[in-house]
Amino acid sequence: MSSFKPTFLCDELLRDAAFVNGKWVKNTSEFFEVTDPANGNVIAKLPEQSVEIVDEAIDAASEAFKTFKNISGRQRATWLRNIYNLMMENAEDLGKILSWENGKPLAEGIGEVKYAASFFEWFAEEAPRIYGTAFSPAIASNRAFTRREPIGVCGIITPWNFPSAMITRKAAAAFAAGCTVVVKPDSQTPLSALALAYLAEKAGLPAGVFNIVLTDKKTPEFGMRLCESPKVKKVTFTGSTNVGKILMKQSASTLKKLSLELGGNAPLIVFADADLDQAVEQALASKFRGLGQTCVCANRLYVQEDIIDEFSSRLASKVNDFVIGHGFQDGVTHGPMINAKAIEKVEAHAQDAIKKGAKLVVKGGRRPDLGPAFYSPTVLSHVPQEADVTSQETFGPLCALIPFSTTEEVVKYANDTDVGLAAYLFTKNIDTIYTVSEALETGMVSVNTGVFSDCTVPFGGVKESGFGREGSLHGLEDYTVIKTTIIGGLPSRL
């Protein structure tokens, strides 16, 4: 695989420039490299742009907003539907680009592309249906009503782990509401974002509505520019809690609206009455999606003590069937970590848990035979609650099984964290489903399934996992403001 390069039906999807005001822009002699995480090979060289490109993109988006906000929801829906259709027509190529820069197995990359496209389909259907409300004021001669208006230019900052979907579920909602955007993708995975810009241009989206700026070295400066610009009315970010707090501070000077989807540390709880086969399969799907590199991956797996040995045995047999390798190889189920440095935290958490008494079920470990960023999953059982893995998000393929005795105990363990994005619950008892799901301090609770992301349901967290919701009918709300109109002095009713 050392010299592998995928073939594309449409080579135009591979772009080597930023996209600002409907034009592909380089305007620099400095470049940064995008590499294949499986082998470190350079797959693209993109312009390392100056901070001034952010100002140009903001100005272009601000000018485009003057017109775009007044275009009918039905027309915006047509453009969104066009983008959806183009993404589906090019799903295989887009999946190859995503897998190449991110490392996911190709099937998973194509799956993400289709998931990403679904947000354009969903919000195409929502764009013509942005409703206001009517009120009956206390004064009989008055009338009052509201309308939702687009908030304005939106800054979008996205991570590397979902290079396509993290953009579409933000940008699609923004476009549906009538907003324009400036996107700053992660420098490790910018090619998927640029491919989306190419398709948006092809779909007929007006110049200046969708802008993408590029940098590797100046990411903090780009983020600050978006946050402090008075022309940008909203910033939305997916990433770490620490960076989210920085962006919030930087946005204070303009009282900018924010949507933040931050750190996870999701608990997954398996009660003794659960369907064990189902719980194992779904726990695997949650824990090892993207090799554990997603914000909603189960990080702490609490298994009732009566079944923890049986559960760990069944889970281990499935993990041993994983095929680790380059995402383009046939039969591969899991690719590399995003880089070699990401492995260090996995190893540290595993070593800490073992030192504190955890049982080693599946050793796992580095795979230098495959490359510097490859790691086979490690499974530990009887992990003590005081282990570091319970209080820190590992973001990698370490499966930590923690025993619990009572419902009250596990709810206390699950809530003992500053973050609250997602939680998982496996039980057949309807009382347990309701009482525990309501007691868990998370924005989302997934019952008897390990994969719940869908464009039709709201996604977001509580506590230090951030605020705001993406997807669903609520996904438009964060890109609008409510205007109230009151009419007074009307004649008496006939």
Q: Is residue 289 part of a domain?
A: yes
Q: What is the pLDDT of residue 299?
A: 97
The CATH code of the domain that includes 395 is 3.40.309.10
Instruction: Please return the burial class of 11, using the count of CB atoms within 10 Å of its CB with bins 0-12, 13-18 and 19+.
Output: exposed
271 and 257 in a single domain? The answer is no
pLDDT at 29: 86
Residue 116 lies in a domain: yes
Q: Which of 23-32, 110-119, 229-238, 480-489 has the lowest mean pLDDT?
A: 23-32
Please indicate, yes or no, if residue 2 is contained in any of the structural domains: no
Three-state secondary structure of 48-71: CCCCHHHHHHHHHHHHHHHHHCCC
Quote the CA–CA distance of 274 and 450 in Å, as a whole number.
14
Whole-angstrom distance, CA of residue 250 vs CA of residue 101: 30
* CATH code: domain of residue 242: 3.40.605.10
Q: What is the mean pLDDT of the chain?
A: 96
Please report whether residue 459 resides in a domain.
Answer: no
At 5 the pLDDT is 83
Residues 410 and 299 in one domain: yes
Q: List the catalytic residues.
A: 261
Residues 247 and 111 in one domain: yes
Looking at the fold, whether 128 and 147 belong to one and the same domain comes out as yes
Same-domain status, 221 and 346: no
Predicted confidence (pLDDT) at residue 153 exceeds the cutoff of 80:
yes
pLDDT tens, residue by residue, 239-284: 999 999 999 999 999 999 999 999 999 999 999 999 999 999 999 9
pLDDT band with cut points at 50, 70 and 90 for residue 478: very high
In percent, the amount of the chain with pLDDT more than 70 equals: 99
Same domain? 99 vs 139: yes
In a domain, 112, yes or no: yes
Is residue 253 located within the same domain as residue 362?
Answer: no
CB 361 within 8 A of CB 312: yes
| pLDDT given at position 329 | 94
**Tens of pLDDT, residues 17-35:** 999 999 999 988 899 999 9
pLDDT, tens digit (0-9, with 9 covering 90-100), for 359-381: 999 999 999 999 999 999 999 99
Q: Do 57 and 79 belong to one domain?
A: yes
Weakest-pLDDT range from 28-32, 91-95, 125-129, 260-264: 28-32
Q: How confident is the model over 462-482, as a mean pLDDT? A: 97
Q: Is position 425 within any domain?
A: yes
Q: Kindly tell me if the per-residue pLDDT of 149 is higher than 60.
A: yes
- Predicted pLDDT at 28: 84
Q: Is the pLDDT of residue 1 over 60?
A: no
- Same domain assignment for residues 136 and 234: yes
Q: Does residue 338 contact residue 160 with C-beta atoms inside 8 Å?
A: yes
Residue 298 and residue 157 share a domain: no
Total of domains in the chain? 2
Say what the pLDDT of residue 438 is.
98
Indicate whether 491 belongs to any domain. no
C-alpha dihedral (231, 232, 233, 234), degrees to nearest 10: 180
- Helix (H/G/I), strand (E/B), else coil: 80: helix
Of 54, 291, 288, the closest CA to residue 160 belongs to 291
DSSP string, 107-160: HHHHHHHHHHHHHHHHHHHHGGG----EE--SSTT-EEEEEEEE--EEEEE--S
Structure-token pair, residue 238: 């997916």
Nearest alpha-carbon partner for 394 in 299, 465, 319: 299
355 and 405 share a domain?
yes
Q: Does one domain contain both 258 and 290?
A: no
Residue 480: DSSP 8-state: E
Is 80 exceeded by the pLDDT of residue 492? no
The average pLDDT across 51-64 equals 98
- pLDDT for 132: 95
Which range marks the domain in which residue 333 is found? 266-454
Domain contains 412: yes
pLDDT over 60 at 48, yes or no? yes
Q: Once rounded to an integer, what is the mean pLDDT over residues 426-440?
A: 98
Model pLDDT, residue 3: 58
